[in-house]
Structure 1
Amino acid sequence: MINSPPALEGVMDIQIELIRHVIEETGSDWDRRAHRFAVLAESAIHSGLARAWRTSRPRSPDALVFEAWVELARAQLAGRFRDPRAVIDNCYRAAALRPEDPTPWVVTLSVLRSTRGPYNNVLSIWHEVVSRDAWHREAHLQMLRYLSPEECGSQSRTLDFVDSAHAAMPLNAPTVALELTATVDQHHRIVARGGIDALLARQHLAYPRTAELLNRSLREWTSPGGLTHSAALADLNTLSYLLMQANRLRDARNVFDLIGETVTPWPWKLEGDPVEVFIHKQEQATRT
């Protein structure tokens, strides 16, 4: 075994302390906590930070969840898990150490979704999350995709899930973009069919229910103090994307103004390189 040079170990220790502090300062703000875990995990995919932190603090729930989330991010990049059972075991240990935290259950849900786990198992973990945080954004997105026709569900199950959530969802919940996200998925489902369906896909976005969804999102999200959750810019990216698909360029321009230069990979990557697609669409909207 080759040990890291002392200077590199010192740098890693500093990085671990910075990550620990950034996560700890979220306290019980579960939305912000999950957002920071996700962003930090993405940045640590190609490093040994997660394992080093968990090895040095084996009873730290944050270290356990961080390693689990990094492994999840690696699996999503590679298209497979090296050891999904080990990831879930880390989550269970973290959940036992901090029972009130929904985050370990969210990662477990993501693993089960990625590995096409049985519905009853997924539903059980889903209940663990929402019993701790009823409107957890990441958990709702994971369930939305799990219930999709591309994975383990159907279009009707997806719609039932979205309708049930929106019937009780507060206006300022972190999950406010759930129906909009489902609409993007459905739009691309129609486009993927090809033929006449693909040619008429834009017309589906003009249907009364979808048009009202876009109008409501535009009205509520762009008003002062409209979106306050951690992934607000990601949701605004989704809104601007769908407005462009609907050829509502003037409305999209207002949303682009709020976004600035913060490009999120999804949904722009559905049409190519996210940054290139974003810039192209932004320029289109600006010319109106």
Structure 2
Amino acid sequence: MLRRRPALLIRPELDDHALHATLTALRPAQHLHGLGAGRMRPVWEPVAELLHSTGRDWDRRVHRISVLAGNLPAVVSERWVADRPGDGDALVLRACVQSGRARPEEQAAARRAEQACLRAAAACPEDPTPWLTLLDLMDASAVPVRDAVPVWTEAVGRAPGNRAAYHRLLRYLSPNGHGTVADMLDFAQQSAARAPHGSPLALLPVAARVELVAHRLTQTSLAALGAHSHWIEPGAAEEIDAALTRWFHTAAAPHAEAVTDLNILAFALTRARRPAQAVPVFRRLGRYMTPHPWSLLPEPERTFLYWRDRGADDR
């Protein structure tokens, strides 16, 4: 009898079940007249409860606020601030919403978003989230790297080793962002070298190599043709080995975006022709796939399933 394999789960909340439950509870509210009219509790209350329960877990707070801001109607955060003007969580969420919706050509909206970030930072002085939100706004506005780094420093000063902070600056420094290949690779190598054992920052050089391949694929036909050869270079093997030894095979507790990092690692191992070592990575992933970096390949979902199920069949 054929064994039915579980369907993929591709969602921004990743494996955060509490976040998924909050988003699910609020999505039907979008269709209510006035978004919450006639309800016994404010529409923003489930979000407030989720963020309150998150506490000072900055890693998970950054992830949850980013996902909420991108997947809830803007009116949720606006109503929350209107009902609770001094609530720091409300101000941080609204800043993230406004920054995500501001377009570089809309200078007035970008300025309002910047002020919202600074107001949120003042209301929550220990929270790195407003500074990372401001960094995203600067990224969208193509602010030079030299002006963005101090903002990033404010974030990591509050949450040293924060995974999201390092990956956001990595993208900023990438040639697809506002930096160069050399900037990006140097930052990734130095950051990984300084990271403690068990830190997901050990994966930064692998993530940088993904960015390098993505950049090469946008170049000339000849450069694109050889882009994936970067995975069979000696340097790639060393980076993957370090990620396995210093992060994947440690007893470190899962972080908020572990699913994203596991997808990067699984992708790298398959591209580097090391499928046997990818088996336990896919086993840990299970049903969770992220579009990036699989979208760099034709038929990303089919490719993910091929490698995942091949490992399951080999057991």
Please classify the TM superposition score into its range, dividing by the shorter chain length. 0.7 to 0.9
The amino acid across from 1:63 in the alignment is A
Shift of 1:195: 4.7
Aligned alpha-carbon RMSD (Å): 2.8
1:112-140, Cα deviation, whole Å (9 max, x unpaired): 01111133321221221122122122221
Preserved contact between residue 264 and residue 274 of structure 1 (Cα < 8 Å): no
Partner SS, residue 83 of structure 1: helix
Q: In 2, Cα distance between the equivalents of 1:20 and 1:287?
A: 44
Partner of 1:205: 231
Deviation at 1:227, TM superposition (A): 4.8
Counterpart of 2:87?
60
CA distance in 2 between counterparts of 1:203 and 1:40 reads 38
The aligned counterpart of 2:61 is 33
Q: Structure 1: 5+ residue runs without aligned partners?
A: none
Q: Does 1:181 align with 2:207?
A: yes
User: Take 1:121 and 1:194, find their aligned partners in 2: how far apart are those partners?
Assistant: 31
Moved more, 93-102 or 275-284: 275-284
Distance in 1, Cα, partners of 2:34 & 2:78? 17
Which residue of structure 1 aligns with residue 282 of structure 2? 256
| Larger CA deviation: 117-126 vs 22-31 | 117-126
Within 5 A, what are the aligned runs for 1:137-216? 137-193=163-219, 195-216=221-242
Amino acid at match of 2:254: T
Task: Name the structure 1 match of 2:52.
Answer: 24
1:280 offset after TM fit, Å? Answer: 4.1
Contact persistence 2:91–2:119 (CA under 8 A): yes
The answer on whether the counterparts of 1:61 and 1:94 sit within 8 Å (CA) in structure 2 is: yes
CA contact (8 A) 2:96 2:117 kept: no
Q: What is the percent sequence identity of the aligned residues?
A: 33
- Displacement of 1:174: 4.6
Shift of 1:272: 5.7
For 1:169-201, what per-residue CA distance to the aligned partner results, in whole angstroms no more than 9, with x for missing partners?
Answer: 112335333222101111223344455544444
Q: How many residues align?
A: 282
CA distance in 1, matches of 2:204, 2:250: 21
Q: Give the stretch that moved more between structures: 222-231 or 149-158.
A: 222-231
Aligned to 1:85: 111
Q: State the match for 2:75 in structure 1.
A: 48
Q: Is the 8 A contact 2:128 2:159 kept in 1?
A: yes
**Separation in structure 1 between the aligned mates of residue 217 and residue 35 of structure 2, nearest angstrom:** 53
Report if aligned partners of 2:99, 2:114 keep a CA contact under 8 Å in 1.
Answer: no
Separation in structure 1 between the aligned mates of residue 38 and residue 297 of structure 2, nearest angstrom: 42
Tell me whether 18-27 or 215-224 shows the greater mean CA deviation.
215-224
What is the CA–CA distance in structure 1 between the aligned matches of 2:105 and 2:288, rounded to whole Å? Answer: 29
Whether the 8 Å CA contact 2:197–2:247 is kept in 1: the answer is no
Q: Tell me how far 1:41 sits from its aligned partner.
A: 2.1
Match of residue 129 from structure 1? 155
2 CA distance for matches of 1:40 and 1:239?
Answer: 26
SS at match of 1:25: helix
Which residue identity lines up with residue 216 of structure 1 in the other structure? Answer: A
Q: Which residue does 2:3 correspond to in 1?
A: none
Q: Distance in 2 between matches of 1:58 and 1:212?
A: 51
Q: Does structure 2 retain, via aligned residues, the 8 Å contact 1:220–1:226?
A: no
Q: Is the 8 A contact 1:12 1:49 kept in 2?
A: no
TM-score relative to the length of structure 2 = 0.79
Distance 1:123 1:146 in 2: 10
* Alignment gaps of 5+ in structure 2: 1-31
